[in-house]
Structures are given as structure tokens and as C-alpha cells.
Amino acid sequence: MPLPPLESIPASIVSLDDYEVLARDRVEDSIWAYLSGAAADEVTLRENRAGFERIQLLPRIFRVLSQASTGLTLFGRHYAHPVFIAPTAFHGMFYPGGEVVTMLGASAMDACMTVSTQAGMAIEDIARGAAVPPWFQLYIQPDRAFTAELVKRVEAAGCAALVITADAPLHGLRNREQRAAFRVPPGLEPVNLRGMEPVPPADRIFGSHLLAKAPTWEDLAWLRSLTKLPLVLKGVLDPADALQAEARGVDGIIVSNHGGRTLDTVPAAIEVLPSVAAAIGDRLPILLDGGIRRGTDVLKALALGASAVMVGRPILHGLAAAGATGVAHVLKILRTELEIAMALTGRATLDELDPSVIFAK
Ligand SMILES: Cc1cc2nc3c(=O)[nH]c(=O)nc-3n(C[C@H](O)[C@H](O)[C@H](O)COP(=O)(O)O)c2cc1C
Ligand SMILES: CCCCCCC(=O)C(=O)O
């Protein structure tokens, strides 16, 4: 499938926020509530942005930039830049063709896409078109035998890492979605979970079946024994959990509050990153997501201990606004902004990004 040229995007669309405005006109109200909303009062959603805005940069001047690069190596693979696509559910809600179209845009920008367990398309079909082998995000299912089969499929499809989401044993309390009566549109289903017994609804949480099979640390050890893929744990906020994950043999950690969509009033991801980075040191790579909207945000996250970042909602804004071209343009904007931020702070490589680029008040 050819990618329509970036020139087809209006010249006035220059930032990720512009894509949010463009997408708003193209997405039906209840789906918009699902995409944009977060848990409860959405305090954490706002904090994810405010956390980045509170951090100021301190540039160095006259540094040698002639060999500048955004390249990095993670789990033995080279990546052209540190902007990864976070896993998000059902891309078909936002654009016909769903995840395959997102992958087309990601491939045009050499970006690594993480495919959600809740994707509306088969992992094999999504991975087939990938220029960069995707990562797969796993929600450990109540049926562990089914989960094991899914992991084998993911390996066979050529995925390069398994991202295990740990912060959502339950769906967060999404009042904005409830008010808008959000439902997954007919015709979309989590096709990679086909064949699994659906989890019936319950009228209470404690004492019902809902938490009976919730994942525990033992599941991590079980997954470790099941696959050679790098295991990356998503949804870590407490350094003690990061250390526990390391002890259980994970290969990487994603500092994330799920874009504010699980437990409200937890701190901004960028605010807890330094404490997780201090605990883990250089022993494991750390990624961060939540609120990345500017190249300066990418730079701040890398300076405070992340090796790469993931971006959620803006990718869906690009997809809704202009399909694969929109996804590619969102990624291009972020990468270009990162390069500008690196050049203007006098940092030629990602290795040169450390806390010295952050202004200490
Ligand atoms: C519409 C939507 C769907 C999401 N679906 C998933 C999912 O299926 N699995 C998952 O681990 N995280 C999911 N997330 C969370 C993202 O992976 C990521 O943590 C979050 O979006 C990052 O914040 P940002 O949107 O500010 O970039 C979803 C987020 C959104 C906005
Ligand atoms: C509409 C199905 C939602 C599945 C869970 C996806 C998710 O993690 C999210 O944040 O939303």
C-alpha cells in the first residue's frame, strides 16, 4: 500500500496539538471520549503534561554537532530514533484499515510500533507490513493456556519484544467514557483473542470472578520460562516494583501510568522516572510514556533516565486525521523537534542526554 505524500497535509499542521484539533472533527463523540479521556477526574492526565512543562532546559553552546544522531540500540536491535508507538486498542475506530494503516505510517518513519492485545487485526497481518519488527503488548488473560498460545503466535509473527501491561488488572474508572456511553463499535473485536472464553460482566468487583485470575509476579516467572523474547514490563511507577521486576528477569521497564487511564491521582510518569532510574541504574533499559507531545519532552525523558519514549494518543490523532500519512507526519514532527532540541542544547547523541541538560532551580 503506497503512503500518500506528506505534502498532502495542510502546511498549517505543524505540531502534535494541531493534529488533535484536526482529529476532533473526524471522530464521533463517544469514541473521542474513549480516546481523549482518562480515569475519574483526569488529574493524572493533566499532570502528565504539567510534569513536562515544569521542567526547564539548560543549553550548552558551541558544542560539536557534526556527527549528530538519534540512533540507539535496544535489546540488541538498532533503532533510528527513540520515538516508539505505545500500544492502543482498536485502531479501526479511528481509520478504516486500522492497525495495518498505522503500521504503514510507522514504517515510513522507521518507528517501532507496539501492537495491543486489543488490536482489531491479526498480529500476523500487522507484522507482515512492518519495516521495523513490532513489539506486542500482552494483557495476561484469565485463561493462561490461551495466553501461552498467543505468546507463541506473537513470536512466530516476528515480533521483537513482549510488553506486559501490569497496571490494569481491571479497566480504570472512566467517567468520561461512561457519560458518553462509549461502546466498541459493531464489527470490531479483539481478533487475537478469538477462541478464548469471554469474561462475563459482574455486578461487583471484590468477591466476583473479576480479580480471581489477576496476574501476579508468578506469572512473570512463567512468561520468562515460556519465551526468549525480551520481556518489557509496562506500568511501573514504584522503584520497589522496578527492582522486583529486575529480580524476576525482565529485560526492560516502561514507566507509565497508562496515560492517566487506570488509577487517577498517581503522579506524572516524568516525575517518577528519576526515582526508578536511580534504582535500576544502567542495568536495564527504561522507557517512558504519558504526555509526550514535543521533542523537548522526549529530550527531558531521555535526560532523566529513559532510553526511549512511547507515544499513545497523538498517533491516533494522526491516524484519524490523515491515515498512514498522519501517523508518519506525527512521528516526523516529533523526531524533527527532538533533533532541534538536541542541537539547541548542544547534545549530539542520545548518550549525551543526562541530568546536566535539566535546569536545577
Ligand atoms: C485509546 C487508548 C487505548 C489504549 N490501549 C491500551 C492497550 O490496549 N494496552 C496498553 O497497555 N495500553 C493502552 N493504552 C495506554 C497507552 O499504551 C499509553 O500508556 C498512553 O496512551 C500514553 O500516554 P499518551 O496518550 O499521553 O501518550 C491506551 C491508551 C489510549 C489513549
Ligand atoms: C475498548 C476496550 C478497551 C481495552 C483496554 C484498552 C486499554 O488499555 C485502554 O487504556 O483503553
Is residue 202 situated within a structural domain?
Answer: no
* Mean pLDDT, range 114-143, rounded to an integer: 98
Query: What's the 344 CA to ligand 1 centre distance in angstroms?
Result: 31
Q: Which value does ipTM take for this structure?
A: 0.99
Nearest residue by C-alpha to atom 28 in ligand 1: 88
Pocket mutation for ligand 1, best pick of 258, 262, 263, 273 (most atoms within 8 Å of C-beta):
258
Is 222 contained in some domain?
yes
Q: Tell me which of 47, 53, 88 to substitute to probe ligand 1's pocket, judged by most ligand atoms within 8 Å of the beta carbon.
A: 88
Kindly report, residue by residue over 303-333, the tens digit of the pLDDT: 999 999 999 999 999 999 999 999 999 999 9
Please list, in sequence order, all residues whose beta carbon lies within 8 angstroms of the beta carbon of residue 303, skipping any fewer than 6 positions away.
353, 354, 355, 356, 357, 358
C-alpha 25 to ligand 1 mean position (Å): 21
- CA 166 → CA 25, 70, 84, 239, 356, distances in Å? 33, 29, 19, 14, 32
In this prediction, residue 2 carries a pLDDT of 63
On whether residue 67 sits in a domain, the answer given is: no
pLDDT tens digits, one per residue of 132-152: 999 999 999 999 999 999 999
Catalytic residue among 81, 91, 258, 317: 258
Q: In a 3-state reduction of DSSP, which class is residue 253?
A: strand
- Report whether 359 contacts 58 (CB < 8 A): yes
Measure the CA–CA gap between 313 and 115, rounded to whole angstroms.
14
The CATH number given to whatever domain includes residue 284 is: 3.20.20.70
Would 86 be classed as within a structural domain?
yes
**Catalytic site includes residue 258:** yes
pLDDT tens digits along 236-270? 999 999 999 999 999 999 999 999 999 999 999 99
Give the ligand at the shortest distance from the Cα of 87: 1
Which structural domain, as residue segments, surrounds residue 315?
16-55+77-194+209-341
The Å distance, Cα 271 to ligand 1 centre, comes to 18
For the CA of 259, the nearest atom of ligand 1: 23
Cα–Cα dist 127/117, whole Å: 13
What gap in Å lies between CA 82 and CA 113, rounded to an integer?
Answer: 12
Domain count, the chain: 1
The answer to whether position 3 is within a domain reads no
pLDDT bucket at 1, cuts 50 / 70 / 90: low
For residue 248, is it within any domain?
A: yes
Contacts of residue 73, defined as CB under 8 A and 6 or more positions apart, other chains included, come to: 79
Question: Over the stretch 266-306, which tens digit does the pLDDT of each residue have?
Answer: 999 999 999 999 999 999 999 999 999 999 999 999 999 99
Ligand number with the minimum distance to the CA of 256: 1
Digit-coded pLDDT (tens) for 180-239:
999 999 999 999 999 999 889 899 999 999 899 999 999 999 999 999 999 999 999 999
Give the mean model confidence (pLDDT) for residues 7-25.
93
What percentage of the chain carries pLDDT values higher than 90? 95
- The band of 6, judged by pLDDT with boundaries at 50, 70 and 90, is confident
Q: Is residue 187 a part of any domain in this protein? A: yes
Asked whether residue 295 is assigned to any structural domain, the reply reads yes
Ligand closest to 140 (CA) is 1
Tell me, using a 6 A CB cutoff, whether residue 147 lines ligand 1.
no
pLDDT tens digits, 72-84: 999 999 999 999 9
